[in-house]
Structure 1
């Protein structure tokens, strides 16, 4: 991996750690102008989080929906999201954990937002370039 592909998004200023691997879904865009995070909460602007499992992980590969996870695991997720931005003086409201079907809808919606954003950006770039050429 090239260093140019690595970017620090956030430094956690406490002993809070991500309970599992945390990432994003490429080619998606949420209303907060960021990709859809993988690991579902709302904070001000809608900021979906997708909880996913690795299909190759023997501990989790048999889970198909959030309701299949043990209640303690969900409590860990909830607690993490309640705490992880406290030292940034940001309040986080953790709402319900939604089923996989809602996650797929959120991903599709964010992919549509991303596509619209790309089209709008290219149209704006075309207008700017047209003005520059004049």
Structure 2
């Protein structure tokens, strides 16, 4: 089974999307799924003292503007082992532009975690969580010398995130892989 191509995304993306976690919360290691094999590949160790503030992965059967599956950060109490499938409710996102072009980061909550399952919109999340996510994406490439190549846009809410997910699913279905 290939994690990008063989995990079905149901029709009701407002309830949840399956999210394949590549990087556990708290990690300094940046893993990516190797597209040909479906195995995890170590991309790099983060250069700065920051760590991933949430479990980080992708939504299967999607194709984002950067050529990869659509990224998702899943908020929950515990770090998750890489290649675990987590059911996440999308709440919103943020648009980054880096050296590879546009790169949306979907923000969701694990619907199977009682501490987060009740959140329905990004506006309901504690403001500190949103500041942490924003700061992580502003800082994590600075010591690589790429900080000036990263533009972090404003957070967006539920209506726009659903459009982004649908567009990335349509791109995947058109064969943009």
TM-score normalized by structure 1? Answer: 0.79
Unaligned ranges ≥5, structure 1: 122-134
Distance 1:4 1:62 in 2: 32
- Larger relative strand fraction: 2
Taking a change above 3 Å as real, the CA distance of residues 109 and 9 of structure 1, as seen in their structure-2 partners, is farther
Of structures 1 and 2, the larger Rg is shown by 1
State yes or no: 1:71 paired with 2:127: yes
Unaligned ranges ≥5, structure 2: 2-36, 74-93
* Post-superposition CA distance 1:63-82 (Å, at most 9, x none): 01110111111110110010
- Larger relative helix fraction: 1
TM-score normalized by structure 2? Answer: 0.61
Q: In the TM superposition, what are the counterparts of 1:1-134 in structure 2 within 5 Å?
A: 5-39=39-73, 40-44=94-98, 45-90=101-146, 91-118=149-176
Larger mean Cα displacement after TM superposition, 77-86 or 36-45: 36-45
Tell me the matched-pair count: 119
Larger mean Cα displacement after TM superposition, 33-42 or 17-26: 33-42
Once superposed, which parts of structure 1, at least 4 consecutive aligned residues long, lie more than 6 Å away? none
